Structure 1
């Protein structure tokens, strides 16, 4: 029952998805007959549709930016990113779409390339969300479970391509239903060192099944539901967000493993008196059944979920996590934030307990390099369970 409490917290965010709200105003198209020209028959002629004047603030924004950061997972890294934002049509109630094209290389010889987008079509009739990423990564692998040990740290590497595309249709204001497809290609899996970093035990990759070290493709399809009333997607002041997903990975779709993934992601944003101070909270659940390869297991930590814990420090079939953040405008283009989170992984939900909860927290600074579209660069410092801490870099908020 104690574990169900966290899951119910996610469902607490859902009621607004079914509350009556005002629909976004649609583009108005008017057809009027033109006056007849002299000495011509008075046949009506259709004029061009009337359009609202273009708001200068709605001009597309195409911002290239250099990238330099340090994270526990990467060390020092440099690269570049390109961040377009735009609005389809002239209806200002339609939220802006955005994309990201970029990449970086790190001192740990990691390479990451990314192309992603979130697109609202005219009148928000459709929502398209997609992401393509390439990783060439050495990372630390700590094994599987909620009680992995830091001294079992094992260096492994692999190359990975992930492709995700979601297409949803609006069924009522802020509410979308649709389908998604996800594909991953994992190859060149290696144990870069024969032993753990303390030299006392074999590299943990060598303790996995032989199949886990072979080239692996995952291919899955399933339904998705999103309720999204956030005012601005990239840096929210107010609104609610609920994302429900189910992905069925089967051999019929070309997957090497057969398993199902369920995801619950609920978020709530509230201004405290004014937009200078924002309280943000998130509850996440990821659940699996079937035969799940180690790279597809749910994992805690990283730049977005429980900053302060190394990404993948704890991984298993089931995950529950919650985090909260207080964001405050300081001066000029600078904002500050403090954050904290709790989470846990386990092979089964009934294996979770209060004694197994992992903690993380920290503080950070945001620099708003584009005020119009609220585009931020953030620098966070976090500490967490598992003996980890570190600096984190990100474009826009963690959630």
Structure 2
């Protein structure tokens, strides 16, 4: 109940902020009608949210959106600076960016993130039990960067580099939550409980015809990467990661109004070699399989899909319904049609910047394994 009350308080606060921002913008426009639109629009917001991975959290976010040059065929670029602390003594700071250079000749995207995280670790597998969660904690710094060059409209190729520095790994309780077995992390190789650096690079291909990268109404998206984590690059573990992310968006009903959008996503992650527990493919979280705790199900290989129906309601409010299915397995040949975990729910969107489709996302989901979650985030899940 406390989480729901906090969510209601946050919603009212955000509605007030959005109203104030819009009225201020309208007032400025009325006084200075001849002034050119700003090339950089910045939303700075205090944030309060709650989700299964964090409990109640508080912090601040800065969300700039801009377009290089006057060519409107170049899609808007965006970034996000976010910092928060939670009631579970977690802390995080991150910078993410997605940049189209003039004429979309290059696409540069990536993230730099720091987490100080006590988390629930359920071990490895597709059918872990809720009562057997283990308490562990660690600190991690993640750097992920890609630079892609356009070959033709919508098609980009280039390279990606990823670094993960995991340290201060700790078993907070020697037993699982139901006290029936040792903490799951104690069953992993001892080397994985020591400070770990993974470093890798590889090729990347992107096909992206979305009309807007924050909240697409129509278009297609295909992102494929291959990463080699190698000791020659400073990595403590050697393994490969192949990943694809395919999405489709279409307008239902009136093409002019674009009030109803159907979105779908198919995601695959496949590993070879020796993969430490933190780098295994994971189901759950605020983007894929909402309603399932992030990392509740993890293993070497992953397949997941989700669909979402997005509907304009009134004023700055939009509603969504979503559903997803996903599975993790040790080998690709182990995937079975009847073993998919399921999740689904509903959500609300509050448009902060309607022109660039910058929004605040509130979702509630339920999922397999007696899971549920309330999520506060920025922009669409996919």
TM above 0.5, yes or no, is yes
Partner of 2:130: 150
Instruction: Provide the residue aligned with 1:111 in structure 2.
Output: 91
Partner of 2:319: 336
Gap runs ≥5 in structure 2: 1-33
Residues 1:208 and 2:188 aligned together: yes
Tell whether the 8 Å contact from 1:163 to 1:183 is kept in structure 2 after alignment: yes
Match of 2:249 in 1: 269
1:47-126 counterparts in 2 under 5 A? 56-57=36-37, 59-126=39-106
- C-alpha distance in structure 1 between counterparts of 2:186 and 2:35, whole Å: 60
Corresponding residue number in structure 1 for 2:4: none
Q: Distance in 1 between matches of 2:308 and 2:236?
A: 39
Identify the residue that residue 241 of structure 1 maps to in structure 2. 221
Q: Distance in 2 between matches of 1:161 and 1:218?
A: 11
Corresponding residue of 1:220 = 200
- Shift, 1:57, TM fit: 4.2
CA contact (8 A) 1:58 1:87 kept: no
Question: Counterpart in 1 of 2:309?
Answer: 326
Partner residue of 2:345?
362
The alpha-carbon deviation at position 208 of structure 1 amounts to 1.1
How many Å separate the matches in 2 of 1:391 and 1:349?
32
C-alpha separation in 1, matches of 2:303 and 2:110: 24
Structure 1 unaligned runs (5+)? 1-53
| 1:256-295 map, 5 Å | 256-274=236-254, 275-295=258-278
SS of the residue 1:231 aligns to: coil
SS of residue in 2 equivalent to 1:310: coil
Structure 1 residue corresponding to 2:296, chosen from 313, 331, 352 = 313
Cα displacement string for residues 104-126 of structure 1 (whole angstroms, at most 9, x for unaligned residues): 11111111110111110011000
The corresponding residue for 1:352 is 335
1:303 counterpart = 2:283? no
Q: Tell me what 1:45 maps to.
A: none
Aligned equivalents of 1:365, 1:265: Cα separation in 2: 24
> 1:257–1:292: 8 Å Cα contact kept in structure 2?
yes
Query: Whose Rg is larger?
Result: 1
Query: Scaled by the length of structure 2, what TM-score is found?
Result: 0.89
**Over aligned residue pairs, what C-alpha RMSD do you find?**
1.1
Displacement, 1:58?
5.5
Measure the CA separation in 2 of the matches of 1:148 and 1:210: 22
Question: SS at the partner of 1:266?
Answer: strand
Distance in structure 1 (CA, Å) of the matches to 2:111 and 2:181: 38
SS across alignment from 1:256: coil
2:150 to 162, 170, 192: 170
Distance 1:58 1:314 in 2: 45
The 2-side partners of 1:389 and 1:155 are apart by 19
Q: Tell me the SS of whatever aligns to 2:278.
A: helix
- Runs of 4+ that moved beyond 4 A: none
2:13 corresponds in structure 1 to none
Q: CA deviation at 1:59?
A: 2.3
TM-score relative to the length of structure 1: 0.85
